[in-house]
Amino acid sequence: MGFKIENKSVFFVAISQFGVAFSFSCVLPFMPFYITQISKFGPKETMIWIGIILGSGHVMAGLTSSFWGSLTAKISPKLLFERGMLCNGILFLIMGFTENLYLLLFLRIIQGSLGGVSTIGLVIISSISQKERIHKDLSLYQNSMTAGQLIGPPVGAYVASLFGYRAAFILIFIVVSIFLVFCHIYVKDIPRRERDVHKDGGYKKILLFAWVLSLMITIHLAFLPSILPKILEGFGLRGGIALNSAGLIIMSYTVTALFGNYILSQIASKVGVRRVITIACILASLAQVLLILSRGVFSLMIIRMIQTGLIAPLFPLTISLFAKDIGGGMIGFLNSARFVGMAIGPLMATSILAYSNLLTLYLMIAGLTIISLWLFMKSALLRGL
């Protein structure tokens, strides 16, 4: 059976977002090495530059996400989506010919400010999806993004090591261009998104609690890589063995995030989105605390895979409760929680671990998640969602 035009558009918006996510994740493994190669500073200064350059994109994306969503009330969302993809591709291409850290930072800041591409994709999906299946379409969109984040790093590392950094940046530009063509041909244009219509205090409160819950969901997903070296050191693993183990752990739980998105979106169709969010969030928080029981790579990996499979689907499910009823600005506001969480997660993990221990970190993340879930569900019940 062929796709209906709406479903075909949903599919190719998701595929296009796969290309964007692939491009951003593709640079992650080799960007620190690239910065080290072109840096004219000492080792300590260069290390600081690596952190600033890599982190600047998330900060800018969080600050501008709402702006891009609100812009869909004035300009065609499809046109914005395509221009955002094109600009990102060009910026990656320029980076491959850059040998100045100040210019590279400037390009990353501009790129971060274009992080609203994912927000515009959410706006398009929410506009062309039928209400009864919007949670499935948003989960497909999320899965496409996750798949890009899974495939991008090994491809980027392989191409950079075999052909050089410049070839890797050129490859990224080509990939983005290909998916841009798919988007232009197969995604239908949609009307400009209406401005936010819910202005009463109660609705603003539930959106605020949804943002906090989305923030905690993202912290669940983002905190671990920054402290994996410390955890693996506790297992007696160092050097190349630790690095390979870290890669295996990250890839394994990214795969369960894909499966979790699909499975929970199907279950939500039968038992309700709100019930799935509640149960999965509680179980994921429990798994978060159970990480303290891991005594080696295998047990850590299994618990983390379960936890991620439960928590990763909750962001698209949460947005699906509102996506048909709010404007692009508010969709951008909710999406900004992802970018803020990606920035806060590693900082929170390393800061707590520097002054306390893993149990404190796990309990704090789990506790704050349960509190945010309770606040969100309480307000949702009052609004009848």
What backbone phi and psi angles, to 5 degrees, belong to 345?
A: -50, -55
In angstroms, rounded to a whole number, what is the distance separating the alpha carbons of residues 182 and 350?
A: 41
Longest dimension (CA), the chain: 61
In angstroms, rounded to a whole number, what is the distance separating the alpha carbons of residues 307 and 5?
A: 36
In angstroms, rounded to a whole number, what is the distance separating the alpha carbons of residues 272 and 275?
A: 6
- How confident is the model over 86-102, as a mean pLDDT? 92
Residue 238's pLDDT band, with cuts at 50, 70 and 90, is confident
> Are 310 and 284 in contact, with CB atoms under 8 Å apart?
yes
Instruction: Provide the pLDDT for residue 231.
Output: 86
Angle at 107 between CA 120 and CA 112, to 5 degrees: 30
Residue whose C-alpha is closest to residue 70's, from 110, 24, 22, 119: 119
Query: pLDDT tens-digit profile of 249-306?
Result: 888 888 899 999 999 999 998 999 999 999 999 999 999 999 999 999 999 999 999 9
In angstroms, rounded to a whole number, what is the distance separating the alpha carbons of residues 75 and 191?
A: 9
Greater confidence (101 vs 241) lies with 101
> Are 330 and 181 in contact, with CB atoms under 8 Å apart?
no
Instruction: Provide the pLDDT for residue 2.
Output: 41
Stretch among 60-74, 101-115, 169-183, 278-292 having the lowest mean pLDDT = 60-74
In angstroms, rounded to a whole number, what is the distance separating the alpha carbons of residues 20 and 14?
A: 10
- How confident is the model over 356-382, as a mean pLDDT? 91
In angstroms, rounded to a whole number, what is the distance separating the alpha carbons of residues 250 and 262?
A: 19
What angle separates helix 239-271 from helix 134-163, to the nearest 10 degrees?
A: 160
- How confident is the model over 128-133, as a mean pLDDT? 80
Percentage of the chain beyond pLDDT 90 is: 33
Residue 3's pLDDT band, with cuts at 50, 70 and 90, is very low
Q: Identify the residue whose tokens are 């993809």.
A: 85
> Are 280 and 313 in contact, with CB atoms under 8 Å apart?
yes
Q: Identify the residue whose tokens are 């993340």.
A: 365
Tell whether the model's pLDDT for residue 202 goes beyond 70. no
